[in-house]
Structure 1
Amino acid sequence: MSFFNKVFASVGIGAATVDTKLEKDTLVPGEEVSGIVEIKGGNIEQQVDEIYLSIHTTYIKESNDKKYTETGVVDKFRLTDRFTVQPNEKKEIPFSFRLPSDTPLSIGRTRVWVATGLDIKNAIDPSDKDYLKVIPNPLMEAVFESISSLGFKLREAECEQAPYRLRRRLPFIQEFEFVPVSGAYRGRLDELEVVFFPTSSTEMDIVMQVDRRARGLGGFLAEALEMDETNVRLTVTSSDIPTMKQKIQSVIDRYS
């Protein structure tokens, strides 16, 4: 085995490569992700300690009054134990895993991708990156449609570092920011912020922040002190879909 081949492989030249092929790339949270990882050996025999798939997104983190973008891991899956890939050998490894129910949606600036990695000792680990389009499940879609029918328009959707009171499994949350553009809430509310916390494919908690528009001197004082915002938590299930609009409207009316 050539000394130079070993050296080149250690810096990624002529080394093993990896390519992940997804069965489909448009999914809802909680749906099964399946596909094949293709591995092609390089110029020399290499030992692979493991193959892993990980789901990533980015989120905004704040530190020392500065905001910056951080990459977050939604979940990680190990596919294989240690094995050896021979020169120019081709391997196909099928996989299947469930997309976590709290995976962010591909809306606004949010991007979600699957990263494939080969852990190879004393070498640069080959990797592959495949973007997913994560769309709302029927329950989330019912919430979005209900809010839209009440005269709100989605202004922004972004993943942000989760405040301590809202932190669960992940260090970030995806926040959907709506503004009233028509209907009864135009002129009454500044915005409506919504965060989903799915517990299953048919049930989720919703945290809504109702931001009231300042009215008069007292209103501006309340706004300056951030007293014009009310946070409310509610639980919805698939059985609520037919009456979702009324359920959300009653909550907004109570706190607007």
Structure 2
Amino acid sequence: MVFKRLLGSLGVGGPSVDTVLDPGAVEPGGVLAGQVHLRGGEADFAVEHITLELVARVEAEHDDGESEGAVAFHRHVVGGGFRLAEHERRSVPFSFALPWETPITELYGQSLGIVLGVRTELGVTGARDKGDLDPLAVRPLPVQEAILEAFGQLGFGFKSADLELGRIDGTGQQLPFYQEIELTPAPRYADRVNEVELTFLAGPAGLEVVLEADKRGGLLSEGHDALARFTVDHHDVERIDWNARVGEWIDRLVDRHAPHPSPGPYGDHGHSHGHADGHRSGPGVGTAVAAGAAGLAVGVVGGMVTAEVVDEVGDFFEGDDEDEAEDGGDEG
């Protein structure tokens, strides 16, 4: 679905913009491509720039509760410096790489409830307007998919996913927010863990995997959170038994009493543990996806379905003023 509107700041008779992304989901760090279609207005206009902006719906925790807002996390100029004649039709092709930490929005084609958009800003004759916004679909990297598949094979289930404003200490995080994927525990851990939260922080060389377990209390102890961080290389995807590796991670996480930060480089396949900032999400806004023999995402059983997520992208981002989106990258 393409969301279009007339450039309101230019008034009636101004040019219009329609950005069409190439079909299919893109991987983090992969190339986003498409065409920006322009249609001239009732007069000639000087197009100073065409800028694409990646925007995400992000949750923020405050002392008095939670709030949601739009955060712009990447901008890329794809064209400009030409004159658009009256009623002229022109297409501007583009391609650029997504940030490596771009959140994943789907798994095996099923929506995770994460809302990302590509917003088009057209600068014309000293004015600018965000005249077009399109939903962005991001599939996991092969190593991310292998890890999620292993969780499913081990009996964990998908609960929800959301984006949290803030940073995770002791990591190489680049964006002002991070993605949390909340999992229900496998039966063998259900008596000790309420849920497990999984965060991927991808980079050119590899992947940081941050795990947090909400551990149950015992007769003589209170429940608490256990944190751990592991690093893997992108090339590990074909040479590791991921069921065994993820099982080791969970066993070590569940047996931990307190986190001990110890950063490790990509490719260090030992168990390096980090410390998170204690920022925890609530139930989230994601789709409830059943876990089964085929992995985490074998079907949608509740929450928002893909079409609803696509429809709400325009509704959500159209309501945010441009200053909020541009300033949203500052951690509050």
TM-score category by the smaller chain? 0.7 to 0.9
Aligned in 2, Cα 1:246/1:181: closer, same or farther, shift over 3 Å? closer
Q: Distance in 2 between matches of 1:215 and 1:66?
A: 29
**Structure 2 residue aligned with 1:234, among 226, 230, 251?**
230
Give the TM-score, by structure 1 length: 0.86
Aligned in 2, Cα 1:25/1:132: closer, same or farther, shift over 3 Å? farther
Q: Distance in 2 between matches of 1:138 and 1:12?
A: 47
Consecutive unaligned residues in structure 1, runs of 5 or more: 1-7
How much identity, in percent, do the aligned residues show? 28
Consecutive unaligned residues in structure 2, runs of 5 or more: 1-6, 107-111, 255-332
Deviation at 1:122, TM superposition (A): 5.4
Structure 1 segments, 4+ long, off by >6 Å, are none
Deviation at 1:11, TM superposition (A): 4.3
Per-residue CA deviations over 1:201-230 (Å, capped at 9, x if unaligned) read x620111012222111x223xx2xxxx211
How many residues align structurally? 240
Q: Which residue of 2 aligns with 1:178?
A: 183
Q: Which residue of 2 aligns with 1:203?
A: 206
Aligned in 2, Cα 1:124/1:96: closer, same or farther, shift over 3 Å? closer
Which structure has the higher relative contact order (CA within 8 Å, separation 6+)? 2
Q: Distance in 2 between matches of 1:233 and 1:143?
A: 14
1:139 aligns to what SS in structure 2? Answer: helix
Per-residue CA deviations over 1:127-154 (Å, capped at 9, x if unaligned) read 1111122111211111101111222111
Give the strand-richer structure, 1 or 2.
Answer: 1
Aligned partner letter, 1:209: E
1:112 paired with 2:101, answer: no
Structure with higher Rg: it is: 1
Per-residue CA deviations over 1:146-184 (Å, capped at 9, x if unaligned) read 1112221111100011246267321110001111153x1
Contact 1:25/1:131 (<8 A) preserved: no
Deviation at 1:125, TM superposition (A): 2.0
Q: Which residue of 1 aligns with 2:251?
A: 253
1:219 paired with 2:217, answer: no
Contact 2:26/2:137 (<8 A) preserved: yes
Q: Distance in 1 between matches of 2:50 and 2:245?
A: 46
1:249 aligns to what SS in structure 2? Answer: helix
Aligned in 2, Cα 1:31/1:154: closer, same or farther, shift over 3 Å? same
Deviation at 1:69, TM superposition (A): 0.9
Give the TM-score, by structure 2 length: 0.67
Aligned in 2, Cα 1:207/1:142: closer, same or farther, shift over 3 Å? same
Q: Which residue of 2 aligns with 1:5?
A: none
Q: Distance in 1 between matches of 2:76 and 2:126?
A: 22
Structure 1 segment 86-165 matched on structure 2, within 5 A: 86-107=85-106, 108-121=112-125, 123=127, 125=129, 127-163=131-167, 165=169
Aligned partner letter, 2:229: R
Q: Distance in 1 between matches of 2:41 and 2:28?
A: 36
1:247 aligns to what SS in structure 2? Answer: helix
